[in-house]
């Protein structure tokens, strides 16, 4: 029997919405999603380059480039070709941020972490699609070596895991910035973008609201 072709979806601007669960009830931060994969393709453009990445059910924003991620990639300062990394993508999903970073910073190793095993597999596969399989490491959080520090950290963080869990996640990864490193975060204003800004300042980080667009805050975080 012939297999049905992968479904293709094209990313379009959209207003913020909750995308924390698939229709079957799986959350994107489920380690082993049971949602049927139903492979599909997501297309988007960043910095003049077109991407077509594989996606599947049970991962974050499976059908499109999440609008917050789109704002982050459009408004934050992407690394240049001279950036050697390493770079980190927290909560990589199917890998859009990872693949953009690997493309614009061809000398850098990009670590992509996600608790969701399907997300990690998709990110690794998509790294291969763009010719960056040798520079992308898609791993579970506990499998990232403790001695690796990062020139840049990028994340559309998983707000829906809860405030305390989100704070723990950021306190785990932000201290792994190099002394002159920078983290780029995007958070919807209605989901606590401004309160997260204040909390990061209270933790001793230097935080700048770098941009605001479509209800999202892009935060630039340094030591």
Report the chain's mean pLDDT, rounded to a whole number: 91
Cα distance between residue 97 and residue 186, in whole Å: 12
How high is the pLDDT of residue 27? Answer: 55
pTM above 0.85, yes or no: yes
104 touches 80 (CB < 8 A): yes
pLDDT band at 28 (very low <50, low <70, confident <90, very high): low
In the predicted structure, residue 25 carries a pLDDT above the cut 70: no
Beta strands in 47-149 (DSSP E): 49-55, 87-90, 110-113, 136-139
222 touches 152 (CB < 8 A): no
Domains and CATH numbers, the chain: 39-222 (3.40.50.150)
Tokens of 36: 């049927």
Q: What is the mean pLDDT of residues 184-202?
A: 97
63 touches 37 (CB < 8 A): no
How high is the pLDDT of residue 26? Answer: 57
Torsion of CA 146, 147, 153, 157, to 10 degrees: 10
Q: What is the mean pLDDT of residues 21-26?
A: 44
In the predicted structure, residue 84 carries a pLDDT above the cut 50: yes
99 touches 65 (CB < 8 A): no
Q: What is the mean pLDDT of residues 214-220?
A: 98
């Amino acid at each position: 029997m012939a297999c049905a072709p992968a479904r293709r979806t094209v990313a379009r601007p959209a207003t913020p919405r909750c995308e924390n669960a698939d229709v079957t009830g799986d959350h994107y931060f489920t380690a082993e999603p049971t949602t049927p994969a139903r492979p599909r393709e997501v297309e988007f453009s960043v910095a003049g380059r077109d991407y077509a990445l594989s996606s599947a059910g049970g991962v974050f924003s499976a059908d499109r480039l999440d609008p917050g991620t789109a704002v982050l990639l459009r408004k934050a300062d992407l690394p240049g070709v001279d950036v050697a990394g390493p770079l980190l993508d927290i909560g990589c999903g199917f890998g859009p941020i990872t693949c953009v970073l690997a493309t614009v910073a061809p000398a850098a190793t990009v670590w992509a972490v996600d608790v969701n095993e399907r997300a990690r597999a998709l990110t690794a596969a998509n790294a291969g699609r763009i010719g960056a399989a040798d520079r992308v490491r898609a791993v579970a959080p506990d499998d990232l070596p403790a001695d690796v520090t990062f020139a840049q950290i990028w994340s559309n963080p998983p707000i829906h895991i809860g405030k305390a869990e989100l704070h723990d996640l950021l306190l785990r990864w932000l201290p792994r910035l190099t002394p002159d490193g920078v983290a780029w975060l995007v958070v919807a204003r209605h989901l606590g973008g401004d309160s997260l800004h204040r909390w990061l300042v209270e933790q001793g980080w230097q935080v700048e609201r770098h941009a605001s667009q479509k209800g999202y805050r892009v935060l630039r975080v340094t030591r």
